[in-house]
Amino acid sequence: MSRRISRNSLMGLLLAALLAVLGSACSGSDRSVSQDCPKDGPTCRTTGSSASPSPDPSPTVDVTTSTPTASPSPTVKPTPTKAPTATKKPRATAGATSASGAPAARTNCASPGDCGFPDADTTGPRIALKAKKTGYWAIRTDGLVIRGQDITGTLDIYANNVTVIDTRITSDSWWGINLRPGYSGLKVLHSTITAVPGKGPDNGGVDYAVSNMGVSSIEVGWCDVSVFGDALSMGQGNLHDNYVHDIVPFINLGGEWQHTNTVISGGGNTGHLIIRHNTLLNPTSLKQGASGSIGLFADTGVVRNVTVDDNWIAGGAYALYGGDTGATGIRVTDNIFSTEYHPGSGGYGVVAHWNAGGAGNVWSNNRMSDGRLVKPEPAS
C-alpha cells in the first residue's frame, strides 16, 4: 500500500510540472503587459505629467456663440474622457546628478523629450476631434468652453474667461487665437495651434499662434505650436509645458525677412510673464530673420517681471534676449540651452542684452545641453 501511495504521489508531481510547462508556453513572455501596451513593444512606457495650475473647465458647457456676426458654430457636448497615455515618453528622473553638478537626466540628451521636456507625445489634444469648423470665428460669450473642435481658421476673442481645450486650430490669417484689449481670463490648454505657410495676409506669412492684446494674464499650457513667426506673443501670461517648434520664416510685406521668436514680449507690461517648462525651438537661419527663441524686447516700454525657468531652449540669433539695460525683475533659472542648431545655442550665442545690475534680476544654474554653466555677458 505504501509503495502505491508513493507512486501515485510521484505521478501527480510529474503531471503538475507538465501542466506548468504547457501553461508557460501558451502565455508567451512573462513581462508585465497592460491593455495599452503595443504587442511588439519591449515594455510599456511610463506616463509623465505636470501638475496643472488650474483644473479642467466644467465638462457640461456647450460650444455656442450668441453673436450674429460670428460664423455659425456647431453645438458640441464636451467630454472629460482622456485618450490613453501609456505611450507617452518617460519623464526625467529627479535627483541623479552628473559630474558637472547638473541633473544627469537633463544633459547629453538626444532630444528634449528624453530630458523630460515637452514634445509631441505630451502636448496637443487628448481626445478625438469630431466637430469641424472653418473660417473666422469672433467669440463674444463670456465663459465659453471650446472643446474637441478641429478648426480651420482663427479665433478672435471679445469675451472674458474663454477656454480653448483639446482642440486643433489651423490658421490662414495673422493669428490662431487673439485676445482683444479689455478682456481677460483666456486659457488655451492641451491644443494644437498651427498654420498654413503661404496663406497668411502678411505676404503669405503667419505671425502669432496666441496673442494677448489685453493687460491681464492668460494661460497657455500643454500646447503643440508650430509654423508661426512670433508664436506666443504677450507681455503677461503663464506659458507652461508647451512644445513650440518648426517655425516657418517668410518675407513680409515690407520686403524683409520677418524676425522670428518662439516667445516674444515687447515690454511695457504691467503684469507678470511666466515661461516655465517649455520646449522652445527656433530653427530659423540667421539669413532668414532669426531673432530669439525668447525675445524680451523694450520696443514699447521697460521689460519687467519675467520668469524664465526650467525650459529647453534652442535657436535664434541669440537664444535669449534679456530685456536690455532698463529691465528689472527678470529671473532666468535652471534652463537648458541646447546646441542642436548652433554651437552657442543661438547663432551668435546664448544671451544678449542681459541687465546684470537691474533690481531683482537673477541668472542662476543655466546650462548648455552638455552640462556646462552659462554666464551672460552684460548688456551693451
The secondary structure of 288-343 as a DSSP string is GTEEEEEEE--SSS--EEEEEES-EEEESSEEEEE--TT-EEEEEES-EE--SS-T
pLDDT tens per residue across span 136-185? 999 999 999 999 999 999 999 999 999 999 999 999 898 999 999 999 99
pLDDT, position 343: 95
Report d(CA 241, CA 249) in Å as an integer.
Answer: 24
* pLDDT for residue 131: 80
Per the CB < 8 A criterion, the answer to whether 282 and 316 are in contact is yes
**Burial track 4-42 (b if 16+ CB lie within 10 A, e otherwise):** eeeeeeeeeeeeeeeeeeeeeeeeeeeeeeeeebeeeee
Low-confidence residues of the chain: pLDDT under 50? 1-105
Q: What is the pLDDT of residue 49?
A: 39
Q: Could you write out the DSSP letters of every residue in 174-241?
A: SEEEEEPTT----EEES-EEEE-TT-BTBTBB--EEEEE-SSS--EEES-EEEE-TEEEE-SSEEEES
Phi and psi dihedrals of 303, rounded to 5?
-85, 130
Residues 6+ apart with CB under 8 A from 44: 32, 33, 34, 36, 37, 86
CA angle 116, 108, 41 (to 5 degrees): 55
The answer to whether 376 and 343 have CB atoms below 8 angstroms apart is no
Whole-number pLDDT of residue 373: 95
Q: What is the pTM of this model?
A: 0.75
Contacts 24+ apart (CB under 8 A), 154-158: 154/178, 156/180, 157/183, 157/186, 158/183
Looking at residue 285, what is its pLDDT? 92
pLDDT at 32: 31
Convert the pLDDT of each residue in 16-58 to its tens digit.
Answer: 443 443 333 333 333 332 333 333 222 222 233 344 444 444 4
The answer to whether residues 371 and 340 touch, using CB atoms and an 8 Å cutoff, is no
Chain position carrying cell 529671473: 331
- The residues pairing with 137 across neighbouring beta strands, listed in sequence order, are 155
Q: According to the model, what pLDDT value does residue 196 have?
A: 93
Residue 295 has, within 13 A of its CA and on its CB side, a CA count of 26
What is the C-alpha to C-alpha distance for residues 351 and 340, in angstroms, rounded to an integer? 16
Residue 379 is predicted with a pLDDT of 57
Mean pLDDT for the chain overall? 78
Specify the length of the chain in residues: 380
